[in-house]
Amino acid sequence: MITCLDHIGIAVHSIEDTLPIYTQLLGLKLVKLEDAKQHGIKAALLAVGETNIELIEPLDKESPISKFLEKRGQGIHHIAFKVDNIEKSLDQLKAKGVTLIDKKPRIGFEGGKIAFLHPKSTGNILIELCQK
């Protein structure tokens, strides 16, 4: 099912203000920066070896990221794992009693299939499954 860690999503108020911490201070390479309007976010992807850091900024007050920031402040929003077959993985997890936020995969920021698992089923951690 899970093949590796894909990325760690970090909710931020401003990518512009936060990006220099990762690029200038820590020396990470910016891979992608764009508005993902269909998801209500602006996102920056930074390479860290075989995985990535995904900075996520809300585009409007109705975005789930905006609500997360209001409730919890800036910080880790989710952990994403790469899978070989996302549909099969979702079926297996559902059969084990995991509550799925996305019952069917959708297209994510990077263009691959994604689906989220409900934190109530995963130790209060939002988990994303990704298939590139």
pLDDT score of 100: 98
Q: Are 90 and 73 a contacting pair, CB within 8 Å?
A: no
Model confidence at 102: pLDDT above 90: yes
Residues 102, 95: Cα–Cα separation, whole Å: 15
The pLDDT score that the predictor gives to residue 111 is: 87
Question: If pLDDT is split at 50, 70 and 90, which confidence band does 109 have?
Answer: confident
Q: Hey, what domains does the chain have and what are their CATH numbers? A: 2-131 (3.10.180.10)
pLDDT of residue 97: 97
Distance CA 54, CA 47 (A): 9
